[in-house]
Amino acid sequence: MGNTSGVKRDGGDGDGSVDEAHAGNDNDPVAPIPARSLDDDGDEMFEAVARLSNPDLMRREPEARISPQGWQTLSELVDVLVSVAARVGIDEDLRWRVAALRRAVDSRDPSPFPLALGSTGRNPPPSVIAWSHERATDEELPEVAVWFLAEGACSLAEGAGIDELRAAWAAIDAWSLKVGR
């Protein structure tokens, strides 16, 4: 079956070729373990990746950066996002990102927020740009909703006010309305 982990192996010589020790080894202990659902318990993995992706967030006092009202608003938005996602189903990447948001809100620890942004980080993906020009398709709404919520959450962790969550609320609301039809 080969290496299905999605992690490119290199034999150490820097040429990008597959390391024979890992080729075909589906039980590779270094391969990332994908989340099976939004409720999977992978705290150690999320913490490790969050530290690597944004060590500054790990050094901050989580509660000091985000107000109680901010955490409450985030919690409510994540609840709605999870509910809509559960009704329609979302792809594996979005499940990981929603799980990162859920983990951050449940623990009141902002370190998983950057993980929820996805591969584009703070740069909006094409679907978000299309949304801002009112051209996003129904299929793009899940990504738009998750990205705006993750971006707003990152802004809150940096000390911004809850107004940063308006775009997230609008995107989640639009997705919820489309699902409800």
How does residue 178 score in pLDDT terms, banded at 50, 70 and 90?
A: confident
Q: What is the pLDDT of residues 17-36, one digit of tens each?
A: 444 444 444 444 444 334 44
How does residue 80 score in pLDDT terms, banded at 50, 70 and 90?
A: very high
Count of CB atoms situated within 10 Å of the CB of 123: 10
Residue 62 has pLDDT above 90, yes or no: no
Quick one: pLDDT at residue 52?
52
In 3D space, the residue among 140, 141, 151, 138 whose CA is nearest the CA of residue 74 turns out to be 151
Length of the chain in residues, anyone? 181
Quick one: pLDDT at residue 180?
77
- DSSP type of residue 60: S
The Cα 93–Cα 115 span in angstroms is: 10
Q: What is the pLDDT of residues 93-130, one digit of tens each?
A: 999 999 999 999 999 999 999 999 999 999 999 999 99
What average pLDDT does the structure give for the chain?
77
Please indicate whether residue 144 or residue 32 has the higher confidence score (pLDDT).
144
The Cα 173–Cα 83 span in angstroms is: 12
Quick one: pLDDT at residue 162?
87
- DSSP type of residue 34: P
Domain boundaries, the chain: 1-32, 43-180
Residue type, position 156, single letter: L
Share of the chain above pLDDT 90, in %: 51
First to last CA, the chain: 41
Q: Does an H or E element contain 83, and which?
A: helix 68-88
Residue 74 has pLDDT above 90, yes or no: yes
Record the tokens describing residue 32, joined without a space. 């990332």
Quick one: pLDDT at residue 129?
93
Please indicate whether residue 27 or residue 78 has the higher confidence score (pLDDT).
78
Please indicate whether residue 53 or residue 8 has the higher confidence score (pLDDT).
53
172, 149 Cβ separation under 8 angstroms: yes
117, 107 Cβ separation under 8 angstroms: no
In 3D space, the residue among 2, 1, 172 whose CA is nearest the CA of residue 87 turns out to be 172
